[in-house]
Structure 1
Amino acid sequence: MPEARQPATSRLWPSGGVHLWPSGGTSQQQIHARGHLVYAAQGVLSVHTERGTSIVPANRVAWTPAGFPHQHAAHGHTDMRIVFLPASLARLVPDHPVVFLASDLAREILLALTGPQPRDTAAQARLRRVLVDELHEAHEQPLQLPTPRDDRLRSIAQLLQDNPADNASLTELGRTIGASARTLSRLFHDELGMTFYEWRTQLRVFHALVLLADGHDTTHVAHACGWANPSHFIAAFTKLVGTTPGRHRS
């Protein structure tokens, strides 16, 4: 992570808060005694933990359990909302970092719990319970890019993070780092639970979300992320994010 750049404006209280981040803003690594949800009312967030990096566009909400070291980063000017959950509710959601699809109701509750008008304690408790019920019904979303542990996979990950448009095959990348495609394919499956091509597609969509947040158009983003045909990019993006790049930008 780059050196931390603090939010331009913050409003914090015991149950949550709001950070207004400039594009490129980052937090220090931190650990909380309570698990928390983060939502981007504007912009795109990334959440970094030892498990990997989660990208949080406007139709997602990220959960980080208590005790997990984490950092946040903003892509585009970002309105970050935070809601802490008491232990009685935290035990109803996963014990690992995860990204959920945010229903319309979940988004409205997140905004209400972090809005300018104060609510009494009982009303907040009721809203948090409904929010957790909504998340309990939602499926975990494939918007978390796991971090490789194996040095060979780390080398490939670094090459592709530096240049997401690189279309080298796994065999070609293997030659660069001195490992066979068969070995690397097995490592991706055993360690990350996905194929190399699935992992690279997620990496590219992550990069695309960042570029879209910075205001780039769909054709530019498609080429910058390795798709020669923008329609193929749109299909891959829509499959993972649940909306087209154009609708996401707007």
Structure 2
Amino acid sequence: MSRNGHAGPAAEPRNQGPVMAATAIFVGHFTMPRGTTFTAHWHPVHQLAWSAKGLLRVSSDRGSWLLPPSLALWIPAGLPHTTEAAGDTLMRSAYVDPARCPQIDWTEPTVVSVGPLLQALIGHLARTDLAPEARLRAEAVLLDVLHPVPVTSVSVTEPVDPRARAVARALAADPADGRSLSAWGTEVGASSRTLARLFVTETGLAFGQWREQLRMQAAMPFLAEGLTTEAVARRVGYASASSFVAAFRRVVGVTPRQYFPVFRVGR
């Protein structure tokens, strides 16, 4: 087993953490083909989950985050979470001794931006030949450049009732389907009022809000692939790029360009 508590990309992680020894930060590397999942686990140290390549999905009872290389997620020590490769992914996680970073007191999962400096520092600290003084300096700089970004978790809960669940699964298969609740009710054998009530009571969101969350979740892999706003908007059910961008910012908290810096705007 590796020092970060993972037995390997295809195995369930153990509830252990790295042997920090004299260092504050240990960097682990994981090659994760699409669909590779580390099931629910936790670490006694903080984790900065980052994908150097591909898309990483991290989920907990606090939310779900899809992370391109421009973003990482600070996961507080002791928080159970799952990690999944949403594409062919190279995960580089920095594991941080809580006793060595008193300046960071985040108790909730926190998204941080990953620019060239932070990327270089993670790579630098993955080295095993650093002198102790050089490592300590690099660790201090890494902790100093962690800057939160106002990204909201995007997750959808599937209803339990079979009628509402049928609607939810159909929309997950085709987020662009714009049928009204009345039309869906005719298909699944329930009134629009019943479906509306079921979505609120079983997902915590009104149907329109739930569908918007689902569409944003569905849009992210397309954005990561570099599809244009127009193409993504059509695939997830928006009539124009501008309406999609407005919805993305409303739900996620930032624009697609801010979330995916290499995102293309043209046709």
Establish whether TM, by shorter chain, passes 0.5: yes
Aligned twin of 1:145: 154
Name the SS of the counterpart of 2:65 in structure 1: strand
Deviates more, 1:43-52 or 1:177-186: 177-186
The answer to whether the Cα contact below 8 Å between 2:72 and 2:114 also exists between their aligned partners in 1 is: yes
CA distance in 1, matches of 2:125, 2:71: 16
State the match for 2:86 in structure 1.
75
Structure 2: runs of 5+ lacking an equivalent: 1-7, 12-16, 20-25
Q: How does 1:50-199 map to 2 (within 5 A)?
A: 50-88=61-99, 89=101, 92-114=104-126, 116=127, 118-135=129-146, 137-142=147-152, 144-146=153-155, 155=165, 160-168=171-179, 179=194, 181=196
> Which range moved further: 163-172 or 64-73?
163-172
Deviating more after overlay: 216-225 vs 93-102:
216-225
Q: Who is 1:205 aligned against?
A: 216
In structure 2, the residue corresponding to 1:28 is in which secondary structure?
strand
Instruction: State the shift of 1:67 in Å.
Output: 1.2
Give the conservation status (yes or no) of the 8 Å contact 2:40–2:81.
yes
Give the equivalent residue in structure 2 for 1:247. Answer: 262
Larger proportion of helix: 1
> Amino acid of the residue matched to residue 141 of structure 2?
V
Aligned residues: 234
CA shift for structure 1 position 139: 3.2
Alpha-carbon contact 1:103-1:134 (below 8 Å) kept? no
Q: Distance in 1 between matches of 2:63 and 2:168?
A: 12
Conserved? CA contact 2:47–2:76, under 8 Å: yes
The percentage of aligned residue pairs carrying the same residue is 28
Query: Which of 7, 10, 18 is 1:6 aligned to?
Result: 10
> What is the alpha-carbon distance in structure 2 between the residues aligned to residue 228 and residue 78 of structure 1?
32
Between structure 1 and structure 2, the one with the greater Rg is 2
- Scaled by the length of structure 2, what TM-score is found? 0.67
1:30 lines up with 2:45 in the alignment: no
Give, in whole Å, the separation in 2 of the partners of 1:247 and 1:224. Answer: 20
CA distance in 1, matches of 2:240, 2:151: 25
Aligned mates of 1:168, 1:121 — CA distance in 2: 62
- Whole-Å separation in 1 of the counterparts to 2:132 and 2:213: 40
Are residues 80 and 244 of structure 1, via their aligned partners in 2, closer, same or farther at CA, if it must alter by over 3 Å? closer
Tell me the TM-score normalized by structure 1.
0.71
CA positional deviation for 1:61 = 0.9
RMSD of aligned alpha carbons = 4.0
* Whole-angstrom distance in 1 between the partners of 2:68 and 2:31: 15
What one-letter code is carried by the residue in structure 2 that aligns with 1:6? A
Q: Identify if the C-alpha distance between structure 1 residues 112 and 176 changes in structure 2 by more than 3 Å, giving closer, same or farther.
A: farther
- Measure, in 2, the Cα distance between the counterparts of 1:107 and 1:120: 20
Q: Unaligned regions of 5+ residues in structure 1, if any?
A: none
Classify the secondary structure of the residue corresponding to 1:118.
coil
Change (3 A) 1:86 1:177: farther
